[in-house]
Structures are given as structure tokens and as C-alpha cells.
């Protein structure tokens, strides 16, 4: 039995806000001519920037993002299935963990919540790691075939960014998501279609797993030619270094080549 929740992300050319880092994740590529902010309104497609102010998260699933109350209200008929599904998964995870007590499968009763916070804290790093692990700079076609699975170990800590360490990473067939959770898979497919309509290459999927709880992080990716990141072979070492130290100050190296 596995519990899934989703944390959507978009990846664009390096975007630096004058305010603090956003918790919803990085951006890879600027769909069309627009720079990609850290959040995208799920209704109208507006992009969050320092000028627009922070977008709001749905209070139910704490995942989907909106630029205004109007967009949130208009999207509810489409969003309610995923929203309720996510909330139910979170509740079921906590109830099951409380019932069975601490174990390797549920080392903490708030495991799902802690995993979501950890993912949010390291979203920039995770997005960059997915881009490197899938070798999207050299082989963009990989985005259609593979997903990055990150196996984590729980580590008690007062700091949400330090509550997990990386046990292993591996590429798995992207189709694994279809079998794991059809509701989340359908939402990822919707984001993928939106990304490609806007000129992107699709959605890179990251599965963060700890015990029986998984966090699904879809990363919308624009053409690699628009992304000023070099291919890096030391991506796993970098990923482990930042997560082990609980550091959230990751900034992706930018290519100096023209």
C-alpha cells in the first residue's frame, strides 16, 4: 500500500526574485517568450513573479496554485477530484501510521506531511536533479520514458529541510505512475499536455519515496536549448550534499558558454 501526494513544479531559465525563495519549486524554461516563475496559476496559466506577488495555494490539497480567488473558484469543478483525493490520502496515511506505530514503513505518524515539506524546501534542487538525472540536455526524449525515483530515510529533526536523507536514486519507467495512482497520473498528463501546447518538451516526474509514502513532483520542462544549465555528471553527489546538510540555498550552475 502506498500513499501519494503531488507537488507540481515548473522549470524555466534561471529566475531570481527580489524576495525570498518560493516554496512551490523551481522553473525550467520560459514557455513561449515569458520567463517561468516558480508558480503557475492552474486556471489561467499566469506566471508568478516578484511583481505579481505570491500566488495562493488551495487550502484543501495545499498543492494547486492560483493567481486570484476568482481563478480558484472557477477551477473548483475540475480540481475537486484531485483535491479531495489528496486530502484523503494524507488523512489515511496518518491514521495508518498511528494505528501500526513506528516502523520502517511508517517511521513517523506525520510522514506524508513531513515529506511534502521536505520536497517544498528542496524544490529548486530536486528540479535541477531531475533535469540532470534524465540527461535532458543531451537526450530530451528521456522525459517521455523515465522518471526519477528518490528513496529516502527518515531522520528526526526540528528542521523540515533536514528530516530525510537520500538512501538511493534510480531511473524507473515513467509508466509506473499509471499503476501507482490513476488520479495523480491523470493530473500529470493534463500538465504535460499544457506544457507541450506552450512549447515545452513535457513533464519530468520525480517520485520521492520513504517507507510506504511517496511524493509525486511533476516538473514542466521547456526545450533544453532555452535552459542555461550545463549537463553535470556529479548531480547525485550535489543532491546528496545539500539534502544531508539540510541546505536550502541551492542555486543551479549556469553555463557561461554562448
pLDDT at 36: 39
pLDDT at 29: 53
pLDDT at 16: 28
SS3 content of the chain, % helix, strand, coil (to 5): 35, 20, 45
pLDDT at 73: 94
Integer Cα distance of 161 and 243 in angstroms: 7
The domain in which residue 237 lies consists of 107-245
Output the CA torsion 115→25→39→170 (10° steps). -80
Regarding whether 70 and 149 lie in a shared domain, the answer is no
Averaged pLDDT in 10-residue chunks for the chain of 258 residues: 54 34 38 48 83 82 84 92 84 81 82 88 90 94 95 95 97 87 86 87 92 87 82 94 95 61
pLDDT at 103: 81
Asked if 181 contacts 211 with a C-beta cutoff of 8 angstroms, the reply is no
- 13 occurs within a structural domain: no
Four-residue CA torsion sign, 236, 241, 244, 250: negative
- Write the secondary structure of 148-170 as one string of H (helix), E (strand) and C (coil): EEEEEEECCCCCHHHCEEEEEEE
Domain boundary, last residue among 106, 141, 160: 106
Dihedral pair phi/psi, residue 67, rounded to 5°: -85, -15
Domain boundary, last residue among 89, 106, 123: 106
- Reference 198, options 82, 7, 30, 23; nearest CA is 30
Q: Which residues pair with 219 in a beta bridge?
A: 9, 204
Domain boundary, last residue among 81, 106, 131: 106
pLDDT at 158: 94
pLDDT at 148: 96
Integer Cα distance of 78 and 48 in angstroms: 21
Regarding whether 216 and 184 lie in a shared domain, the answer is yes
What are the angstrom distances between the C-alpha of 27 and each of 1, 51, 97, 157?
32, 17, 34, 28
SS3 117: helix
Asked if 92 contacts 85 with a C-beta cutoff of 8 angstroms, the reply is no
Regarding whether 122 and 74 lie in a shared domain, the answer is no
pLDDT tens string 220-248: 888 877 887 888 999 999 999 999 999 99
Regarding whether 223 and 114 lie in a shared domain, the answer is yes
pLDDT at 9: 55
Integer Cα distance of 191 and 88 in angstroms: 22
pLDDT at 164: 97
Regarding whether 241 and 114 lie in a shared domain, the answer is yes
Greatest C-alpha distance within the chain: 57
**0.95 exceeded by pTM:** no
Regarding whether 160 and 67 lie in a shared domain, the answer is no
Amino acid at each position: 500500500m502506498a500513499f501519494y501526494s503531488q507537488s507540481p513544479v515548473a522549470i524555466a531559465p534561471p529566475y531570481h526574485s527580489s524576495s525570498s525563495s518560493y516554496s512551490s519549486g523551481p522553473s525550467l524554461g520560459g514557455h513561449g517568450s515569458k520567463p517561468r516563475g516558480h508558480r503557475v496559476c492552474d486556471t489561467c496559466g499566469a506566471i508568478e513573479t516578484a511583481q505579481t506577488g505570491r500566488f495562493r495555494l488551495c487550502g484543501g490539497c495545499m498543492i494547486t496554485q492560483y493567481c486570484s480567488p476568482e481563478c480558484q473558484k472557477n477551477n473548483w469543478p475540475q480540481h475537486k477530484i484531485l483535491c479531495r483525493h489528496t486530502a484523503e490520502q494524507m488523512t489515511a496515511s496518518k491514521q495508518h501510521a498511528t494505528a501500526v506505530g513506528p516502523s520502517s514503513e511508517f517511521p513517523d505518524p506525520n510522514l506524508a506531511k513531513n515529506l511534502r515539506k521536505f520536497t517544498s524546501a528542496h524544490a529548486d534542487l530536486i528540479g535541477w536533479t531531475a533535469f540532470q538525472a534524465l540527461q535532458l540536455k543531451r537526450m530530451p526524449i528521456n522525459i517521455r520514458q523515465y522518471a526519477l525515483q528518490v528513496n529516502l530515510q527518515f531522520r528526526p529533526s526540528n528542521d523540515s529541510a533536514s528530516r530525510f536523507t537520500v538512501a538511493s536514486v534510480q531511473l524507473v519507467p515513467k509508466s509506473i505512475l499509471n499503476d501507482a495512482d490513476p488520479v495523480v497520473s491523470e493530473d500529470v498528463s493534463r500538465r504535460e499536455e499544457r506544457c507541450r501546447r506552450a512549447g515545452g518538451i513535457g513533464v519530468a516526474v520525480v517520485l520521492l519515496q520513504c517507507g510506504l509514502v511517496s511524493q509525486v513532483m511533476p516538473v514542466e520542462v521547456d526545450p533544453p536549448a532555452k535552459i542555461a544549465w550545463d549537463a553535470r555528471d556529479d548531480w547525485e553527489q550535489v543532491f546528496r550534499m545539500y539534502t544531508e546538510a539540510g541546505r536550502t540555498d541551492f542555486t543551479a550552475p549556469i553555463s557561461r558558454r554562448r
